[in-house]
Structure 1
Amino acid sequence: MIIYPQIDPTAISIGPLHVRWYGLMYLIGFLGAWMLGRYRASKPESGWTANQVDDLITYCVLGVVVGGRFGYIFFYDLHAFLQDPLVLFKVWQGGMSFHGGAIGVAIGFWLFGRKTGKTFFTVADFIVPLAPLGLFAGRIGNFINAELWGKPTDLPWGVVFPGPLAGGVPRHPSQLYEASLEGLVLFTVLWLYSSKPRPRGAASGLFLLLYGCFRFLVEFVREPDAHIGYIAFGWLTEGQILSFPMIILGIVVLAWSISANKQRTTKSVTR
C-alpha cells in the first residue's frame, strides 16, 4: 500500500495568478510533439518544413482544447450543460475528454490538409507518433490532481488517494497505467513503426487500434465517473463505449491501408 504523496496541484503562484501542474503537463506534451515534429521534418525527403510543423501543432492545440472541452460536456456532463449552457466555458472547474480532443484534432488535420494540399492521412500519419507524449503528460497531470483513480485493490502498489470520495482505501493508480500504456508504450511502438516508410494510413490505423485497446482494458480497473456509473452489464463504462469505435475504425483503416498498398504495388509491377 502506498500513501499518495501530498502534491500541490498549483505549480506556481504569483499574486492572483495560479499556474497548475495539469496545465503545465499540456504545455510539456505540446512542446515535446513540436520538437520531435521538427526533428522529423528535418530528415531528407520528409516532405515537411519546420514552418508547416509549427502551423500543424497550432491546429492540434486548438483541436485538443476546443474538442476536448466540447467532448467532455457532450459525453460526460450533458445534463449540467442543459441546465446551464455557460458551464461549457467554466474550464477552471476541470473537464476534458480525450475522445472529444481526438475529434477536434481530426478536424484540424482536415483543415490543415486543405490549406497545404496534403491528404488527411499524410497529416495524420506524421503527427500520431507524437501524440502519446501529450497523453503521457496528461495522465501524469491526472495523478498530480489525485483524480480519475481506479477501483479498490489489495495489490502492493495500490495508492490511498486523498478525499472522501476515494474512501481511504488503496486503489489502482489507473492514471499511471494509462500513462504507461497510452503514453510510453504507444509512443515507442508508433515511433519505431513510423521510422520506416509505411503505407498511407497505416500509422493512423495502428494508433486508433492500440489506443482503443489500451483504454478499453484500463477501464476495467478505473473507477467510472460517479455521476455516470456503468452504462450496461454492470461493467461497461462510457470510456469503453467511446473506445470501441476507435478499435473498429483502427482495424478498418489498417485493412484499407494494406489493401490499397498491395493494389498500388501490383499495378506498378504489371506496367
Structure 2
Amino acid sequence: MSNSYIAFPAIDAVAFKIGPLSVHWYGLMYMLAFAIAYWLASRAAAKPGSGWTAEQVSDLLFYGFLGVILGGRIGYVLFYNFSEFLAHPLYLFKVWEGGMSFHGGLLGVLLAMAWFARRYNKAYLQLGDFVAPLIPLGLAAGRLGNFINAELWGRTTDVPWAVMFPGAGPLPRHPSQLYHMLLEGVLLFLVIMLVRRLKPATGMLGGVFLTGYGCARFFVEFFREPDAHLGELALGMTMGQWLCLPMIIGGTGLMLFVYRQGQQQKGVTAK
C-alpha cells in the first residue's frame, strides 16, 4: 500500500440547524434528488403535445416518492438483512437505524408507475420513457450524500486518489460512492438524454436506463466493499451484482423487443 492518500474532508453530517431541528446532508440530498426530478418532469410536461399536466407530474412524483421510501426499506430488509427480520419482525420499521436498497426502491417505483398508469390511462412503456431521465441525477445526489456521510466506502487500494475514511480502518480505500455518482448518475443521464434526442421507439429509454444502471452498478461493485454480514456470494459476486443481473437482462430484452417491433413496423410500411 502506498503512503499517499487523500484525507477524508472534515464534513459535519449535519448541514445546519433550525432551533432543535438538525438537517443532515443526506436528507438534503434526498430533497435535491426529488427537486431535480420535479424540475425535469415539469420541463418535459410543458412541451407542446406532451400529454401531461402539472397535476399529473405532482402525483407521479408523490407516488414515486412513496415507492422509493417503502420499496427501498422493504427491499433492504429482504435482500440484505432478512435473517434480522425473521428474528425481529419489527426491524422492518426501524428506519432510524438506516438501511435502504436501490433495487427495492426501483421495484417500489415500478409498482407505483403501474398504479399511476392505470389511474391516468397512460401506456406503461411510455410512462417508463418519461420517468427514465428523471432518476440518474437524483441517484448522483444520493451517492454524494453517501460520500459526505463516509458510508458505503470502497475496497482497500493504493491508487493515488484513495481516501482514508473515518471508521473504515487504517487503510485507504476506493471512493466508490463517487464512482457510483459519476457512472450511475451523470454518465447514465447523459446517455439517456443523447438517446432521447434520437427520438427512439416507445420503451427504448426505459430499457437504456435498466441496462445502463445495471451495468454501471455491476462494474462499481468490484471496487465497493461488500456488506460485512454478507460478503461475497456465489461466483464471488456481491448481492448488488446479483440484483443487477435481472436489470441487465430485462433492460436488454426490452431494448431488443422495441427494436424488433420497430423493424417489423418498417417492414409492414415498406410493403
TM-score bracket for the superposition, by shorter chain length: over 0.9
Mapping of residues 115-126 of structure 1, within 5 Å: 115-126=119-130
1:223 and 2:230 matched: no
2:153 paired residue among 143, 149, 153: 149
1:254 and 2:258 matched: no
Mapping of residues 72-221 of structure 1, within 5 Å: 72-163=76-167, 166-221=168-223
Give the equivalent residue in structure 2 for 1:25. 29
Bigger shift: residues 133-142 or 4-13: 4-13
Give the equivalent residue in structure 1 for 2:242. 241
1:3 and 2:4 matched: no
Alignment-mate amino acid for residue 14 of structure 1: I
User: 2:15 is paired with a residue of what secondary structure?
Assistant: strand
Q: Structure 1: how far apart are the matches of 2:52 and 2:158?
A: 50
Alignment-mate amino acid for residue 52 of structure 1: Q
Q: Structure 2: how far apart are the matches of 1:186 and 1:221?
A: 19
Change (3 A) 1:13 1:84: farther
- Shift, 1:260, TM fit: 1.3
Alignment-mate amino acid for residue 2 of structure 1: I
1:55 and 2:59 matched: yes
Mapping of residues 59-70 of structure 1, within 5 Å: 59-70=63-74
Provide structure 1 residue ranges, at least 5 long, that are not aligned to the other structure.
Answer: none
User: 1:128 is paired with a residue of what secondary structure?
Assistant: helix
Alignment-mate amino acid for residue 247 of structure 2: M
Give the equivalent residue in structure 1 for 2:268. 267
Bigger shift: residues 39-48 or 182-191: 39-48
Alignment-mate amino acid for residue 66 of structure 1: L
- Shift, 1:21, TM fit: 1.0
Q: Structure 1: how far apart are the matches of 2:95 and 2:196?
A: 35
Give the equivalent residue in structure 2 for 1:39. 43
- Shift, 1:7, TM fit: 1.1
Change (3 A) 1:44 1:195: farther
Provide structure 2 residue ranges, at least 5 long, that are not aligned to the other structure.
Answer: none
User: 1:26-65, CA deviations, whole angstroms, 9 ceiling, x for partnerless residues?
Assistant: 1101110101111011112222222211111111111101
Alignment-mate amino acid for residue 251 of structure 1: T
- Shift, 1:265, TM fit: 2.8
- Shift, 1:115, TM fit: 0.6
- Shift, 1:196, TM fit: 4.1
Q: Structure 1: how far apart are the matches of 2:81 and 2:16?
A: 29
Q: Report the TM-score when normalising by structure 1.
A: 0.95
User: 2:22 is paired with a residue of what secondary structure?
Assistant: strand
Q: Report the TM-score when normalising by structure 2.
A: 0.95
- Shift, 1:15, TM fit: 4.3
How many aligned positions are there? 267
Alignment-mate amino acid for residue 221 of structure 2: E
